[in-house]
């Protein structure tokens, strides 16, 4: 019996990275986590890092 198509694991494409969170998602998470974030403008690096730590 022969196999057709991809026969080696190395031939498989790399899985796509999950989409980056939107600013609205980070702000909503920060609010529930008790972090202060403005309603607009840049999200502080510390908040983005905390979001990343909480979601990995």
Is residue 25 a part of any domain in this protein? yes
For position 40, which CATH number holds?
4.10.320
What tokens appear for 30 in the block?
């920060």
Mean of pLDDT values over 40-49: 96
Is residue 30 a part of any domain in this protein? yes
Number of domains into which the chain is organized: 1
**DSSP designation for 41:** S
Question: Domain of 39?
Answer: 21-54
Is residue 14 a part of any domain in this protein? no
Nearest to 36 by CA among 26, 55, 22: 26
Name the band, by pLDDT with cuts 50, 70 and 90, for residue 1.
low
List of residues 6+ apart from 44 with CB closer than 8 A: 37
Nearest to 44 by CA among 25, 28, 32, 30: 30
Is residue 5 a part of any domain in this protein? no
19-34: per-residue pLDDT in tens? 999 999 999 999 999 9
């Amino acid at each position: 019996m022969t196999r057709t198509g991809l026969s080696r694991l190395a031939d498989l494409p790399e899985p796509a990275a999950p989409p980056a969170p939107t600013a609205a998602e980070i702000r909503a998470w920060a609010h529930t986590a008790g972090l202060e974030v403005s309603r607009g403008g840049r999200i502080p690096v510390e908040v983005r890092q905390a979001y990343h730590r909480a979601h990995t």
